[in-house]
Copies of this chain bind each other. A is one copy, B any other.
Amino acid sequence: MGSLLVGQSGGPTAVINSSILGVFKEALRHEEITHIYGAINGIDGVLNERFIEVTKETSLDNWKTTPGAILGSVRLRLKKYPEDLELYEKIKEVFKKYDITHFFYCGGNDSMDTCYKINDYFKQIGYKCTVLGLPKTVDNDLVETDHCPGYGSAAKIVSTIMAEVYHDTSVYKKGRVTIVEIMGRDAGWLTAATHLANVYNNGPDLIYLPESAFDMDKFLEDVKNLYDKKKKVLVAVSEGIKDKNGEYILNYQNSSEGDAFGHLQLGGVALVLSDTVSQKLKLPVRAIELNLPQRCAAHLASLTDVNEAFKCGSFGVKSALKNKTGYMIAMERVANYKIKFVLKPLNLIAEQVKPFPTKWIIDGNKISDEYLDYVLPLIKGESYPKYINGLPVFAKIDKH
């Protein structure tokens, strides 16, 4: 007996709400769970007792197809106990007050770290509460899992947009160099997904990931050769590409100019590259940064991804009720793409990054078709939101 609490942390995706819904729906089936809470803005909501309570009467319509994070998110990172002592004690105090015996935290590497630390703290002080992590990230860079909820949907929209942009940019006899920037600070998984556009349509001619050292001269040479031949070039580039010395290409822009444009966060490498193409090759060029819309496109999510995210949540509740604690829900791929949900120790996952395999990068600027076997099952099926009068209808809650 006891109550369940779920929160979310880090950047949103198109399917986080499906994971949270999976927790809620499964929890509602078990009478031994006395109350079901969602923390508003993750750990911040815990510290400030900002909860919503979910009962059989709560409307959970459209959660599966609503992007973002309905419960809200937070960027707070906990230091290792006994540092941040006050925060830990406040968490325990609130958990006791609400009789929380099952805690779930949905997020990426940092969130798994938070999960790990809270679980560790509870163990040390002997507080009985299961702590489980629910994976989510469009970056697909969590270790110990075949892939992450959020990635399939982001891969689907990014590859679809890439095929559309190809159609748009190929209409003139003499076109431009088009450079499309895709999210991925440390891992190139999402940028690699642009190669999917080459399966049935046309996609990028050149693809650059952080896992392969970027050489500006070679890039300019490749662009020039392709433009001479085709009179248009489509390039996909990860925001986090670096040169052989580990320097971000983004930093090639003079920092005072960078500031002038407000590019204080990582992002804007497409502008650096398009500037260089314009100056050095004197070719017409356009930079496109896909930006936030690529990670919240619930209007075209992967049905496989939506369903797997949901199942991560429900499997999590079942595991918690078996008193499993200190794990992340992970996915194992078995023959013919069946997914087995398993538990992996949080300490193996926290702060680790799974890079895109270099064996699937060809010549530093193309992706091997072997990657397609891995990714195609993840984008299968189309999840659409409900439309009324031509407009999507997303879920909302009252964030008092």
Contact = CB atoms under 8 A, between A and B. Distances in A.
Interface of A: 8, 12, 41, 44, 66-69, 72-75, 156-157, 159-161, 163-165, 167-173, 178, 196-197, 199-202, 253-254, 257, 260-262, 264-265, 271, 274-275, 277-279, 285-293, 295-300, 302, 304, 376, 379-382, 384, 387-394, 396
Contacts of A72: 170-173
A274 B268 CA distance: 14
A278 B292 contact: no
B389 A376 contact: yes
- When all copies of this chain in the complex are counted, the total is 2
B159 A391 contact: yes
Given A163-B394, A168-B296, A293-B161, A382 B381 contact: no
A292 B289 CA distance: 10
Q: What DSSP secondary structure best describes chain A's contact surface?
A: mixed
B12 A73 contact: no
Contacts of A168: 12, 67-68, 292, 295-296
Given A67-B168, A163-B391, A289-B289, 10 more contacts: A12-B167, A67-B167, A68-B167, A73-B171, A161-B293, A164-B298, A165-B296, A196-B391, A201-B396, A262-B275
A17 to B, nearest CB: 9
Contacts of A156: 390
A380 B327 CA distance: 46
A199 B382 CA distance: 25
